[in-house]
Amino acid sequence: MSAEQPRVVVGSHAELQKVLSTEFSARAAEAIARHGRFVLALTGGSVAPAFFPALAALPIDWSRADIFWSDERAVPPDHPESNYGLASRLFLMPARVPAERIHRMPGELPDLEQAARRASDELKSIAGDPPHLDLALLGVGPDGHIASIFGLSAGARSAKADGTSRTGGTGLQPCPPVIAVYNSPKPPARRLTMSFPVIASAGQVIVIALGAAKAPVMRAAIDGSGETPVAELLRRRTSSLVLLDREAALS
Ligand code: 6PG
């Protein structure tokens, strides 16, 4: 796949929020007009408190939005570490998203393989097989991880590698849409994540990096030299939107 440069916007929080809101609204309108629904994946991390309240206030028909997560920690939904819980407080409740449109990953299940299968099935039932997201909103770690994909060859690999769930890294072979992660370097170690191909094939991908710790990895991802999940994502796609605060853009 060709590697066009991503669109990169550097700005203050307010400036980034404006760009994000414009892109989000346009994608929602386009998706609803085209296929009657807006299928999106949310992120956890610092992006949520920074931007979710403003997204919740957008004049979007949330009854047409199907909300998934790019990753989830293996905790119950009411746990302080839950990505769903965070989004619920900051986004879903204020936006009054109907319960049947909220498709959280069941991080509370003791059997993570079962949880991954259940999340994969739910994603496929709404977004098709292979699933197609209209929009994936992603944070990024200082090591270049996106969602809970922590490396190109091993990051999203299931510890119970069984031939089908080993390919979550770069996704060159078929792999389930959602896979279990047992060894995340970012706590907690046990997680669920959408696999790389689902994220990389989304209609639009918005990567948001906040803070100086992200600057080196984002510089390498944008100039095409990085060997990280975020770099590979930007390389694989013909278009993406990257939002950097001023600290994350310092070189
Ligand atoms: C999570 C996230 C993860 C996050 C990055 C960046 O579950 O933690 O979904 O992918 O977006 O780790 O997190 P920060 O923005 O907090 O650094």
Atom 7 in ligand 1: which residue has the minimum CA distance?
A: 44
Cα of 7 to ligand 1 centre, how many Å?
Answer: 21
Residue partners of 151: CB distance under 8 A and separation at least 6: 145, 169, 229
Cα of 182 to ligand 1 centre, how many Å?
Answer: 16
**Atom of ligand 1 minimally distant from the CA of 83:** 7
- Of 74, 60, 90, nearest in space to 181 by CA: 74
As a whole number of Å, the CA-based R_g of the chain is: 17
What is the pLDDT, as a whole number, of residue 142? 98
**pLDDT (average), residues 101-118:** 98
Cα of 139 to ligand 1 centre, how many Å?
Answer: 5
Query: Would strands 191-194 and 178-181 be described as parallel, antiparallel, or unpaired?
Result: antiparallel
Above 70 in pLDDT, residue 167? no
CB atoms within 10 A of CB 61: 11
Strands of 204-209's sheet, edge to edge? 7-11, 241-245, 204-209, 135-139, 38-42, 65-69
**Atom of ligand 1 minimally distant from the CA of 213:** 17
**Atom of ligand 1 minimally distant from the CA of 69:** 9
Cα of 141 to ligand 1 centre, how many Å?
Answer: 6
Cα of 46 to ligand 1 centre, how many Å?
Answer: 7
Cα of 144 to ligand 1 centre, how many Å?
Answer: 10
**Atom of ligand 1 minimally distant from the CA of 214:** 17
Query: pLDDT over 90 for what percent of the chain?
Result: 86
Above 60 in pLDDT, residue 176? yes
Calpha distance 150→143 (Å, rounded): 8
Split at pLDDT 50, 70, 90, the class of 170 is very low
What is the pLDDT, as a whole number, of residue 5? 79
Cα of 37 to ligand 1 centre, how many Å?
Answer: 26
Above 60 in pLDDT, residue 210? yes
Atom 1 in ligand 1: which residue has the minimum CA distance?
A: 44
- Distances from the Cα of 105 to the Cα of 118, 122, 163, 224, 229, angstroms: 8, 9, 23, 32, 21
Per residue in 211-239, is it b (16+ CB within 10 Å) or e — as a string?
eeebbebbbbbbeeebebbbbbbbbbbee
Which pLDDT tens digit goes with each residue over 18-56?
A: 999 999 999 999 999 999 999 999 999 999 999 999 999
pTM here is 0.92
Q: Using a 6 Å CB cutoff, which residues line ligand 1?
A: 43-47, 71, 73, 83, 139-141, 145-147, 186
- Distances from the Cα of 52 to the Cα of 17, 91, 239, angstroms: 10, 5, 23
User: Which of 51, 69, 71, 82 most suits a substitution to test ligand 1, by most atoms within 8 Å of the C-beta?
Assistant: 71
- Chain-wide mean pLDDT for the chain? 91
Which pLDDT tens digit goes with each residue over 123-166?
A: 999 999 999 999 999 999 999 999 999 988 543 343 333 333 34
Above 50 in pLDDT, residue 58? yes
